[in-house]
């Protein structure tokens, strides 16, 4: 699209393309039939192992799980 064209409504609301496309993808995933739905949602899960460092030594790591919306 040319730069003179009007920006999409989500762009003017301060959303980035990544945010927009991820919201779209999530909504599509939620409209799937089982078992594809849980499969698709599970695929998007992200797990972090986080450990803080004190006095140069790592503490016990904690697992943080982020699921999209």
Partner 1 sequence: MLRQLTSRILTKPTTPFFSAAATRRPFSTEVADTSTGDETFVEQWKKVIPNIDPPKTPSQYMKTRPPTPNVLPTKLTVNFVLPYASELSQKEVDMVIVPATTGQMGILPGHVPTIAELKPGLLSVHEGNDVKKYFISSGFAFIHPNSYADILAVEAVPLDRLDQAQVQKGLSEFTQKLSSASTDAEKAEAQIGVDVHSALNFALTG
And the tokens for 55? 């006095």
Distance CA(11)–CA(61), nearest Å, equals 38
Which of the residues 46 through 65 are near partner 1 (CB under 8 A)?
A: none
Q: Measured from the CB of residue 12, what is the shortest distance to partner 1 in angstroms? A: 8
The greatest distance separating any two alpha carbons of the chain, rounded to the nearest whole angstrom, comes to 55
Contact between 36 and partner 1 by CB under 8 A: the answer reads yes
Retrieve residue 40's tokens. Answer: 């698709």
68 binds partner 1 (CB under 8 A): no
Chain contacts with partner 1 (rule: CB under 8 A): 1, 8-10, 12-15, 20-25, 27-33, 36-37, 40, 43
């Amino acid at each position: 699209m040319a730069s003179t064209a009007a920006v999409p409504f989500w762009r003017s609301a301060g959303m980035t393309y990544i945010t927009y496309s991820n919201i779209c993808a999530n909504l599509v995933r939620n409209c799937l039939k089982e078992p594809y739905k849980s499969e698709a949602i599970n695929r998007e899960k992200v797990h972090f192992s986080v450990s803080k460092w004190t006095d140069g030594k790592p503490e016990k790591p904690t697992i943080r799980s982020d699921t999209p919306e």
